[in-house]
A and B are shown apart, each in its own frame.
Chain A
Amino acid sequence: MSDATPAAAKPPEADASAVDARREQSTWFRFYRRNGRALNAFITLVLVWGFFAVNNPVLFLNPIFYGAFLFSVPATVFLTTALVFVIVSGELDLAFPSVVGAAGGVFMYMVMNGFPVLGAFGLTLLFGAVIGLGIGLIVVYGRISSLVATLGLNFFILGIVNLLAQGRTITAPAAVDTFGYRLFVGKWELFGTGLQVPMHFVWCLVWTVFCWVLFKYHRFGVRVQLVGDNSDSARQMGINVERIRVGVFVFSGIAAAITGAVLVQMANMVWFPTSGKAYLLIALAALFVGGTPTWGGVGTIFGAFFGALTVTLIPSGAVAAGFAGFWTDFLFGLVIILTMIAHRFSGARVR
């Protein structure tokens, strides 16, 4: 045999009292180690944008294009950032599209019956939290795999909505241009540049920062990460693992309710039962492009934000850059796979 026996190949056990061969990491290296996945997501966004922009520079200098982009991006942002909590805790939520639809319906039903938009919005959030609580309790205390449970619950909730709606859509044209409507989806021009910034984009920025603080600095977020990293350790250290797991589903339910209420307002107060259905794969793709790994324990909120921007840019950007619509899925898949490979470079799972 060669001299590379297992014993020789194994590095000597590093001991604090012995001479330490490991080098201190530079500040830049540490910064990349800590934020590499979010940076990768940001670089992906810039590259995708750049690729489209060079193909049709005129359109990509036009503020109208970005106005449309900012209009459609928030729904994905609301959902993806909340999903970070779910995936990091080690669970999976496939039921949020149906909650988006149900919450939109609840919101519109109240507005149609003369509720002010703001009050209806608050009650819709409460509705989302209650549905999320129900989902969480079923998953955690029913001891069902969250993949299977939420898959079933997605059909179940959508089914109930369909049965109640009987194919009807709800409209409330009277609520358009009220104070609450303008607060949520009104538009204002950014410093005379011709770029129309929709209010719900501003709110999605506020939401992203809120999620970031909650995830990184609040006890809840820290515990979500610890439970996802090693739930046995978390339990042994006195963390109520079940409560945290239920909590992430409540949070996901609230985000889905926000999305539902915003979507119907974006559509000028029109609701149909399947609004939200389209976001299942989009939001999950945004999450993983955004750099949150599948195995739980770690994740990035800003990465998820950039991921949501990227996946929203691909379909509209591809068409705008002159690709035929048939290219969209191909480009979509290509970007997902290439980003996954890029994320590998910022570190595999640490055990």
Chain B
Amino acid sequence: MAANDEPIIELRNIVKRFGNVEALSGVTMNVRKGEVLGLLGDNGAGKSTLVKTLAGVHDPDEGEIIVKGKPRKPWTPLAARDAGIETVFQDRALAPQHSIVTNIFMGREITNWLGLTQVRQQIDEANRLMREIGFTSKVFNPESTVGHLSGGERQGVAIARALYNQADVIVLDEPTTALSLTETQKVFRFVEAVKASGRTVIFIGHNIYHVWEIADRFFVIDRGREAFEGEKAQFKGADHLIEMMHQLAETGRADTATLKQPA
């Protein structure tokens, strides 16, 4: 694949507990520069916890997060964004009573030395980003209220926000859930465009066909641990991947011997 082997994010033995529940029990994962990594797993496997850990929302109880070769501690949403990881959350993480531009710059407003927001500059940037991801409707402008937008348009705002600041890694958590077919196609085109620009995408999905279509490599977790991983070329096809995941659900482990040797 186009990806080179240099890891941009390394997770080492990540453990995250919520009270007595261990949501992640020692996940080790490398994300390579320029790849599209598909993150798969059943409900309750720990996908969401892993995403929120990548985004800095959860600080792991044990283990290390290394981004671009540097161990990161403390790990907060701001630290993650500063390290170049932008996340499009499953719930979009928007403020529905506010404008598109306010949402795009949530948490990183363009301000002068007095802390006053640079309204004109933010609107220009928002306009540019909206064009970039194909917001073409005349109905809304950067000052439209997010609460009046459709599900796909809200997703667009969340994606535009992730694009601003040229992040190195974009995490998309279930980006195609509740989207129409055309909107799903748009998300796919977006992922391809990001990949073509040399950046990294982590794509989390329920729909394995969606993930198969878009990802270069797959990382499957089960009950808070890595179950198996493999490059797209190692599988015979999407059905092979699905079969292995069925196996995993039924027996607790997948037969990795059926995978081809990595190229």
Question: Interface residues, chain A, CB within 8 Å of chain B?
Answer: 13-18, 20, 22-24, 33, 213, 217-220, 222, 225-226, 229-230, 232-240, 297-298, 349-351
Q: Is the interface of A mostly helix, strand, loop or mixed?
A: loop
Task: Tell me, yes or no, whether B119 is within 8 Å of chain A by CB.
Answer: yes
Rounded to whole angstroms, the CA-CA distance of A222 and B106 in the bound complex is 9
Write out the residue numbers on chain B whose beta carbons fall within 8 Å of the beta carbon of A229. Answer: 95-98
Contact A350 B148 (CB under 8 A): yes
Shortest CB-to-CB span from A89 to chain B, Å, is: 13
27 CB contacts below 8 A, A to B, read A13-B150, A13-B151, A13-B152, A15-B182, A16-B135, A16-B137, A22-B139, A33-B145, A217-B116, A218-B117, A219-B116, A220-B115, A226-B98, A230-B93, A230-B94, A230-B95, A232-B93, A233-B106, A234-B95, A234-B107, A236-B55, A236-B87, A236-B89, A237-B107, A238-B80, A297-B98, A298-B97
Chain B interface, number of residues (Cβ within 8 angstroms)? 48
Rounded to whole angstroms, the CA-CA distance of A20 and B139 in the bound complex is 8
Task: Tell me, yes or no, whether B81 is within 8 Å of chain A by CB.
Answer: yes
Rounded to whole angstroms, the CA-CA distance of A213 and B116 in the bound complex is 8
Rounded to whole angstroms, the CA-CA distance of A324 and B86 in the bound complex is 64
Shortest CB-to-CB span from B109 to chain A, Å, is: 5
Contact B111 A238 (CB under 8 A): no
Task: Tell me, yes or no, whether B134 is within 8 Å of chain A by CB.
Answer: yes
Rounded to whole angstroms, the CA-CA distance of A13 and B77 in the bound complex is 33
User: Known contacts being A20-B137, A22-B139, A237-B106, is A297 close to B117, with CB within 8 Å?
Assistant: no
Contact A233 B87 (CB under 8 A): no
User: Known contacts being A14-B150, A16-B153, A298-B97, is A237 close to B77, with CB within 8 Å?
Assistant: yes
Shortest CB-to-CB span from B167 to chain A, Å, is: 13
Contact B147 A351 (CB under 8 A): yes
User: Known contacts being A16-B135, A229-B96, A238-B76, is A350 close to B145, with CB within 8 Å?
Assistant: yes
Rounded to whole angstroms, the CA-CA distance of A235 and B58 in the bound complex is 11
Task: Give 5 closest A-B pairs by Cβ, nearest first.
Answer: A350-B147, A237-B107, A238-B78, A229-B95, A233-B93
Contact A219 B117 (CB under 8 A): yes
Shortest CB-to-CB span from A234 to chain B, Å, is: 7
Write out the residue numbers on chain A whose beta carbons fall within 8 Å of the beta carbon of B114. Answer: 218
Contact A235 B77 (CB under 8 A): yes
Shortest CB-to-CB span from A254 to chain B, Å, is: 17
B52 — nearest CB in chain A belongs to which residue? A236
Write out the residue numbers on chain B whose beta carbons fall within 8 Å of the beta carbon of A233. Answer: 91-95, 106
Task: Tell me, yes or no, whether B4 is within 8 Å of chain A by CB.
Answer: no
Interface of chain B residues 131 through 169 with chain A (CB within 8 A): 134-139, 145, 147-148, 150-153, 156, 161
Write out the residue numbers on chain A whose beta carbons fall within 8 Å of the beta carbon of B145. Answer: 33, 350
Task: Tell me, yes or no, whether B70 is within 8 Å of chain A by CB.
Answer: no
Task: Tell me, yes or no, whether B180 is within 8 Å of chain A by CB.
Answer: yes
Write out the residue numbers on chain B whose beta carbons fall within 8 Å of the beta carbon of A20. Answer: 137-139
Of the listed residues A217, A225, A297, A349, the one surrounded by the most CB atoms of chain B closer than 10 A to its CB is A217
Q: A33-B145, A234-B106, A238-B77 are in contact. List 20 more A-B contacts (CB 8 A).
A: A13-B152, A14-B153, A16-B152, A16-B153, A24-B139, A217-B119, A219-B117, A220-B115, A225-B95, A233-B91, A233-B95, A233-B106, A236-B57, A236-B87, A237-B93, A238-B81, A350-B97, A350-B147, A350-B148, A351-B96
Rounded to whole angstroms, the CA-CA distance of A222 and B105 in the bound complex is 10
Write out the residue numbers on chain A whose beta carbons fall within 8 Å of the beta carbon of B156. Answer: 16
Residue in A33, A217, A226, A238 whose CB lies within 8 Å of B95: A226
Task: Tell me, yes or no, whether B102 is within 8 Å of chain A by CB.
Answer: yes
A350 — nearest CB in chain B belongs to which residue? B147
Contact A217 B135 (CB under 8 A): no
Task: Tell me, yes or no, whether B128 is within 8 Å of chain A by CB.
Answer: no
Task: Tell me, yes or no, whether B108 is within 8 Å of chain A by CB.
Answer: yes
B81 — nearest CB in chain A belongs to which residue? A238
Rounded to whole angstroms, the CA-CA distance of A297 and B180 in the bound complex is 30
Task: Tell me, yes or no, whether B183 is within 8 Å of chain A by CB.
Answer: yes
Rounded to whole angstroms, the CA-CA distance of A218 and B112 in the bound complex is 9
Write out the residue numbers on chain A whose beta carbons fall within 8 Å of the beta carbon of B93. Answer: 230, 232-233, 236-237
Rounded to whole angstroms, the CA-CA distance of A226 and B136 in the bound complex is 26
Rounded to whole angstroms, the CA-CA distance of A229 and B109 in the bound complex is 17
Shortest CB-to-CB span from A153 to chain B, Å, is: 29
Shortest CB-to-CB span from B114 to chain A, Å, is: 8
Write out the residue numbers on chain B whose beta carbons fall within 8 Å of the beta carbon of A235. Answer: 57, 77
Contact B57 A230 (CB under 8 A): no
Write out the residue numbers on chain A whose beta carbons fall within 8 Å of the beta carbon of B115. Answer: 218-220
Shortest CB-to-CB span from A27 to chain B, Å, is: 12
Write out the residue numbers on chain B whose beta carbons fall within 8 Å of the beta carbon of A219. Answer: 109, 111, 115-117
B95 — nearest CB in chain A belongs to which residue? A229
Rounded to whole angstroms, the CA-CA distance of A239 and B93 in the bound complex is 12
